[in-house]
A and B are shown apart, each in its own frame.
Chain A
Amino acid sequence: MILVGLILLVLALLGAPLFAVIAASALWGYYRADIDLSAVAIEFFSVGTMPFLLAIPLFTFAGFVLSESGAPRRLVRITRALLGWMPGGLAIVSLAACAFFTAFTGASGVTIIALGAILYPALTQAGYPERFNLGLVTSAGSLGLLFAPSLPLILYGVVAQQPIDELFRAGVLPGLLMLIMLSGWSLWVNRRERQPLSEFSWREVAGALRESAWEIPLPVVVLGGIYSGLIGVSEAAAVTALYVVFVEVLVLREIPLRELPRIMRESMLLVGGILVILGVSLASTNIMIDAGVPQKLLAVVEQFVSGPLTFLLLLLVFLLILGAILDIFSALVLVVPLILPVAAQYDIHPVHLGIVFLAAMQLGYLTPPVGLNLFIASYRFEVPIVRVYLATLPFLLILLISVIIITYMPALSLWLLPGT
């Protein structure tokens, strides 16, 4: 038993696809419990019956289309026109634009590629120190994770069976906290350069708005619809996907029609990678719950933990380690079903747990050795990975403080929920 676990762990560390490792552990678990192995297939099939999953391929596709169009440049222009007058303006512009874009593209690493390529040189040109720029762009690449309609939030709703619109509301204040704290830090670091980027000009605002006229309805309809509860997540995703193709391919013609199949294939490759892990995880968590793993986990936790406060501390440490090793999607589908019942014992609200989980996992994008953003930034800006580590460190610390605040102030997550 332990031997099999160790072998699987070694295989995972050697770079075996995670879905294969998880599937192997599920198959092994069913075999040991004397259950017919086709039960794994039955569990996997429920990927085709779960609600809300439809939103994941549709939003991912829309995000890929947007990031290949001129939308990132237009987004930066608007944010610049609206926020550029503030001291340290461009840093704040970068953070806000990245958060917005990440939320819309579901935190798959495309933000750094799509927006970083515009913001990084712009920041350097505006006279910000290179190291600061590198850290800022790298850490901003996963900043919008807590805002609707980010994929991890949707996936948490699916896995934990929590209402997705409540999760979207719960993410607003914690997400803003992260944004404000990083903005504050950026202002403080560059306090000697209090030069605003530009004067506020109504003409520039109007020009930027006119340029983006086709894209502005999108966040209004999607975010307005989702946050008000008027349209469902899957419906919003369908409208977004269709509208984005209509605008970027047919109206603005920034993406040639013949490129569309490639974008479809690339985006579905990512979706397949995520959902196949979800499918095999359904099987593996099922067998673990059958084997009483959550109860055993609780028994272990009880030895160290006296109340909710210490539980949250333990949870946070665990999640930070987890986030450093596993990507957010795998961590979600594997771990959430196991810690959910344990957290319930300590009266942690499942929605709050989700926000804490995702906020902690967001740090995982930035923690060495395997943080995804670090690699993407190193690759994209052709900078040695160790330099990216060092440049990101202060931002990582600020985010860590914000995650601690989010963890210990449940009200921040729960305040906007109906009926609380």
Chain B
Amino acid sequence: MTEPPGRLGRRLSERLERIGRGLEDLVLIVLLSAMILLATTQIVLRNAFDFGFIWADEVLKLMVLWVALFGAVAASRADKHISIDVVSRFLSPGLRVASELVVNGFTAAVCALLAWHSGRFVYSAWEFGDRLVGGLPAWWFQIVMPVAFGLMAWRYLLFTGATALRLANRWRYREP
């Protein structure tokens, strides 16, 4: 077995993990509630007072992007992304762990690439001073992409580490 990390370190990392999850959930809940309230307010204003916020439609669309990405972060955490998964059932336990290792490593790498390149996209939007929603800096809204893909990359990196450990343990116990 590998040396377990210090108790303090583990407690700290567990606490950080819990705070992180809480924050992810909070973002989702606030976004969804705000979407429902803003969209319905808009309907009431339009029909009753013949009035509406001109920015509301654009903001609502951008909120869909945010909800989508934070929902994807939550799906990564639970490893519940849509996948095909037909072959793994027929693999031996050892091969299954090995294939999980490859799959998790691959997903982490792709997410990291997406985070990096969307970061570059946001950076250039910042540099050129792109504007959205009646003059607000575009990067305020776009920053969610590198952040979310970064969190997903981090999550799959943790999965990769965990599967690598499992594989190493299998290997060790198999040795006479």
> Which A positions have Cβ atoms within 8 angstroms of B?
11-20, 23-24, 27, 37-38, 40-42, 44-45, 47-51, 53-54, 56-58, 61, 231, 234-235, 237-239, 241-242, 245, 261, 264-265, 268-280, 325-327, 329-330, 369-370
Question: B82 touching A265 by the CB < 8 A rule?
Answer: no
Dominant secondary structure at the A interface: helix
Question: B110 touching A268 by the CB < 8 A rule?
Answer: no
A-B contact count (CB 8 A): 196
Cβ–Cβ < 8 Å partners of B111 in chain A? 20
Cβ–Cβ < 8 Å partners of B12 in chain A? none
- Provide a sorted-by-A list of 12 A–B residue pairs whose CB atoms are within 8 angstroms: A18-B81, A24-B106, A41-B121, A41-B145, A48-B61, A49-B62, A269-B74, A269-B78, A272-B68, A276-B68, A276-B81, A330-B82
From B3-11, B31-39, B162-170, give the one contacting chain A: B31-39
Once bound together, how far apart are the Cα atoms of A355 and B102, in whole Å?
A: 38
Once bound together, how far apart are the Cα atoms of A38 and B82, in whole Å?
A: 24
Q: A24-B110, A370-B86 are in contact. Are A38 and B120 (CB under 8 A)?
A: yes
Q: Which of A14, A47, A245, A277 contacts B87 (CB 8 A)?
A: A14
Closest 6 A/B residue pairs (Cβ): A272-B71, A48-B65, A238-B39, A275-B68, A17-B81, A41-B118
Cβ–Cβ < 8 Å partners of B113 in chain A? 23, 27, 37
Question: B84 touching A268 by the CB < 8 A rule?
Answer: no
Which residue of chain A has the shortest Cβ distance to B41 in the bound complex? Answer: A238
On chain B, the number of residues with a Cβ less than 8 Å from chain A's Cβ atoms is 58
List which B76-132 residues lie within 8 A (CB) of chain A: 76, 78, 80-88, 99-100, 102-103, 106-107, 110-111, 113-114, 117-118, 120-122, 124
Cβ–Cβ < 8 Å partners of B84 in chain A? 12-13, 15, 18, 325-326, 370
Residue B75 at the chain A interface, CB threshold 8 Å:
yes
Once bound together, how far apart are the Cα atoms of A279 and B120, in whole Å?
A: 17
Question: A15 touching B72 by the CB < 8 A rule?
Answer: no
Q: Which of B42, B43, B88 contacts A15 (CB 8 A)?
A: B88
Q: A54-B35, A264-B28 are in contact. Are A270 and B71 (CB under 8 A)?
A: yes
Once bound together, how far apart are the Cα atoms of A44 and B67, in whole Å?
A: 14
Once bound together, how far apart are the Cα atoms of A45 and B60, in whole Å?
A: 14
